[in-house]
Structure 1
Amino acid sequence: SCGRKAILSCKHKFSKETSLRIEWKKIQSRGVSFVYYNGEFTDRAEMLNTGIHIRNVTRKDSGTYRCEISAKSEHGQHLREATIMLTVLVAPTIPKCEVPSSAMTGTVVELSCKETEGSPPSEYQWYKNGVALLEKTGTGGARAANITYTMNKKSGTLLFNTVTKNDTGEYFCEAANGIGLSQKCSVKRMQVDDLNVSGIIAAVVFVALVMALCGLGVFYAQKKGYFTSK
């Protein structure tokens, strides 16, 4: 867990009389960084026989470590390697949820939920009016036919391909990774309404009338000679 001490062991079968050289490295996407090299540590670590203790681990300490032991004896030089995966367990933080306050029926609407501190990565569960939303169970079942959304527990998205008025409600998301307590974002309401066709028609008529009146005004001004240059 975060803040505790991690123990990485590296056992070998060389005799005590054998001269050993030990190196610890962390394997990263951008290359290799040394943890223990040339008898010295480069980070929060201490030696335990051929293994190491990493103090006050954080999420950034997660990764792949490699122990390299080279032995020199009368029979020559030998190299042994061991690779260890370290996962620092971190409880999730409160996720950030994006829920549109309003939407029109028949449109595509996506709700998002994400937190980045949890290790391992969190999975996400959406709730509507306090009730957990179900996932689709298939393409032909009755349950799948009644579900108008797609919930992705890995990415935290809740997607409505054609949102309806029945999707109006109060939504929140919960993040959990099995470490500590799950975390929830605040409740947000999404209101879905039908497209106001009569209002759109009225607006179009109003704009047309305004443009017509402007045209008549310009025509009248031209007749009176207001636009004639002197």
Structure 2
Amino acid sequence: MASRRLRLLLLGYLGVLYYRNVAGIAIETDNKNVKAEEFKEAILSCKHKFSKGSSSQRIEWKKIHSQGVSFVYYEGEFKGDLRDRAEMLNTGIRIRNVTRKDSGTYRCEISVKSEEGQRLGEATITLTVLVPPTTPVCVVPSSAVTGTVVELSCKEAEGSPPSEYQWYKNGVALLEKTGTGTARTADITYTMNKKSGTLIFNAVSKNDTGEYFCVASNGIGLPQKCSVKRMQVDDLNVSGIIAAVVIVALLMALCGLIVLCAQKKRCFSKESSSQKSSSQSTSEKDFKHTKSFVI
């Protein structure tokens, strides 16, 4: 019983000692969400204050991503792609010529040894590199049949943040249907998704015939537009389908007759060959008989 109490007292003392020797440092940052345009510079702020009795300090920067954590600044130097593009400041780091690959979450970690023991602190900053959109790729069917489901798509993959899309018909922006049920949107027969860039007609009609194009924008640079494409909507041509079926049936019948004639010709050729062979055999027999008679 006494030994158990002694162990508990020892563990409690070690816990108090650890808390005293490893304490936190107040880390401040000017901006936890840094945004910078591509090919310009970004500053990730990491400020701290130490007591006068601090004997040594260690600063590390890491990048957090889906595969884990990688070092950005370690043992007094930058690592990887930032080796020649970044520099250490008293208040953080500066990254020059940022690219879209630099976007992500960074963590500043500081460790200080002082008379009071070791002190730790960290701060997390998110860097978003802003990239203007490129020309989107639009897919618009050239023709459609009334009453069918038709989907138009628009997409570009370079913009950061991701682009939003606006569809136009004959140069006029299409309205986005809302749940308010206003008179202006009550007759809309399509569904437009500005985030995915799709424009879906659940039952396309002749009135939907026109020239369509899409514009991608994300607030960075100029909006980008795809080329204009025309969609023609027509009724189902029943007489044309019947005529096509009749023509196909006639062609199939003609092909059948050709095959049948070819087979008959082949049989006739075999019969002629057989008769010719029989006649030749009879002639040979007559020739042999005549020769024997003469002798």
Normalising to structure 1: TM-score of the pair?
A: 0.91
Query: Which shows bigger deviation, 139-148 or 119-128?
Result: 139-148
Structure 1 residues 139-218: aligned runs within 5 Å: 140-216=181-257
Structure showing greater relative contact order (alpha-carbon pairs closer than 8 Å, 6 or more residues apart)? 1
Structure 1 residues 49-198: aligned runs within 5 Å: 49-138=90-179, 140-198=181-239
Structure 2 gap ranges (5+): 1-36, 272-295
Which residue number in structure 1 is paired with residue 39 of structure 2? 3
| Aligned-residue offset at 1:205 | 1.2
| Aligned-residue offset at 1:49 | 0.9
The answer to whether the 8 A contact 1:111-1:159 is kept is yes
**Structure 2 counterpart of 1:35, from 42, 63, 72:** 72
| Aligned-residue offset at 1:188 | 1.2
Query: RMSD across aligned C-alpha pairs, in angstroms?
Result: 2.1
The answer to whether the 8 A contact 1:26-1:63 is kept is yes
Letter in 2 for 1:5: E
Structure 1 gap ranges (5+): none
User: CA distance change for structure 1 residues 218 and 121 in 2, over 3 Å: closer, same or farther?
Assistant: closer
The answer to whether the 8 A contact 1:137-1:143 is kept is no
Which residue number in structure 1 is paired with residue 60 of structure 2? 23
The percent of aligned pairs where both chains have the same amino acid is 80
The answer to whether the 8 A contact 1:22-1:50 is kept is no
The answer to whether the 8 A contact 1:125-1:156 is kept is yes
| Aligned-residue offset at 1:167 | 1.0
Secondary structure at the aligned position of 2:207 is classed as helix
Q: Distance in 2 between matches of 1:60 and 1:225?
A: 74
Q: Distance in 2 between matches of 1:114 and 1:217?
A: 52
The answer to whether the 8 A contact 1:123-1:155 is kept is yes
Q: Distance in 1 between matches of 2:59 and 2:261?
A: 96
Query: Which shows bigger deviation, 208-217 or 172-181?
Result: 208-217
Based on CA coordinates, which of the two structures has the bigger radius of gyration? 2
**Number of equivalent positions:** 229
Which residue number in structure 1 is paired with residue 286 of structure 2? none
Q: Which contiguous aligned blocks of 4+ residues in structure 1 show a shift greater than 3 angstroms?
A: 139-145, 212-222, 224-230
The answer to whether the 8 A contact 2:53-2:115 is kept is no
Query: Which shows bigger deviation, 38-47 or 88-97?
Result: 88-97
